[in-house]
Amino acid sequence: MSASNRYNRQMILPEIGEDGQYKLSKAKVLVIGAGGLGAAILPYLAAAGVGEIGIVDDDVIEISNLHRQVIYKSSAVGKSKVEEVKLMISELNPLVKVNAFAEKLSGKNAISLFEKYDIIVDATDNISIKYLINDACLVTNKPMVYGSIFRFQGQVSVFNYQNGPTYRCLYPDENNNALNCEDAGVIGISVGIIGMFQANEVLKMILGIGEVLSGKILVYNILNNEQQKYDFDKSNFQLISRESFEEKYNKSEVEEIKFESILDEINNDSVLFLDVRNAHELPKISLKNQIQITLLYLENEIEKLDKNQKIYVFCQSGIRSKIGAELLQKHQFKKIKSIAGGVLAMKDILKEEIKI
């Protein structure tokens, strides 16, 4: 089947036509995250004929993903997300070139990846990664298509578009403690709607049509179908140099450790297990040397902790514990590690040994 037949229904739109379809075929888009948002974004970009799509995600498919990450099959549980996406796109539209990066985005690879693409799409649920994406977009002068979900509400915006406002203009506080979908809960429809809004922004930028959400944030609530757009201005903050980016992001990262590798330390009096979850979160875990300080209050209560003590930080799923560990490192704590997978992993390992 020829390209003109494949794309006929969109090419008859006067705003697209042959010239627009050519623009799509030459566009290169990098999507960070192949989870719920990515599962909505990627098929529509591929189906529309975006010529080259990159996907960055080091995760594998879990059964709990499938209610919202609808491009994956039950038979794919345990397989690489990016490799499954690559297979899906090749079957949906073999005219699209797909680059699968089964790695975690970091300060070490972000700039080199971003330089190869025209538009960067944030399909993550990790606050610290969003700041990384924003800053790498500033260094490489790429627009960032932002999407975020909190329970039944989603947000969409476009940052750094034609030197417009950035993520830091809207959210200057890098110590934001927002929950990810695994901690806060999410319904699949939310990520589907917001992901398609993001894909729409990508296509508008490529085609040069419509009004791009630059300097504006769209907030959509699926429970009452209300949506609002809010304007925001560009602030004075700009991270512009590659050197300042590398200094910020290429420092030593928080070390993650699997809980099963430290089982022999749960009764060690010289070790502290720090729970940074909110007090009401379940399941409860009781370890011999454990303290609970909610992440939101950690910096204000940091004097409760001993800088010389070995501290293992945990939360519900391993996201907030890394943020907490980074905070402690900034305050010169040296013996800090984050427990990978959080309580959700810990409870399965110690069902008999700990009281849940």
Question: pLDDT (tens digit, 9 = 90+) per residue, 35-62?
Answer: 899 999 999 999 999 999 999 999 899 8
Burial of 256 per CB tally in 10 Å (0-12, 13-18, 19+): middle
Cβ-based neighbours of 311, under 8 Å, separated by 6 or more = 271, 272, 273, 274, 305, 328, 333, 335, 336, 337
In this prediction, residue 330 carries a pLDDT of 82
Q: Strand 28-32: give its sheet, edge to edge.
A: 97-101, 52-56, 28-32, 119-122, 144-150, 153-159, 216-221, 226-231
Third-level CATH fold of 255-349: Oxidized Rhodanese; domain 1 (3.40.250)
CA gap 170, 84 in Å, rounded: 34
Each residue's pLDDT tens digit, 239-288:
678 888 888 887 657 888 989 889 888 888 889 999 999 988 888 888 88
CA atoms within 13 A on the CB side of 247: 6
Q: Enter the DSSP assignment of 315.
A: -
In this prediction, residue 128 carries a pLDDT of 85
Q: Which residue has the higher pLDDT, 299 or 253?
A: 299
Q: How far is CA 62 from CA 116, 316, 318, in A?
A: 30, 17, 16
CA gap 297, 201 in Å, rounded: 37
The one-letter amino acid code at 326 reads E
Domain 3-249 class, CATH top level? alpha beta
Reduced to 3 states, what is the DSSP secondary structure of residue 271? strand
The domain spans of the chain are: 3-249, 255-349
Best mean pLDDT range from 127-141, 225-239, 249-263: 127-141
In this prediction, residue 292 carries a pLDDT of 94
Neighbours of 236 (CB within 10 A): 5
In this prediction, residue 111 carries a pLDDT of 96
Q: For residue 3, is pLDDT > 70?
A: yes
Burial of 137 per CB tally in 10 Å (0-12, 13-18, 19+): buried
- The pTM of the full predicted model, rounded to 2 decimals, is 0.74
Q: For residue 85, is pLDDT > 70?
A: yes
Strand partners, 31: 55, 121
Q: How far is CA 218 from CA 21, 189, 301, in A?
A: 27, 17, 36
Cβ-based neighbours of 297, under 8 Å, separated by 6 or more = none
Both tokens of 45, joined, read 């970009």
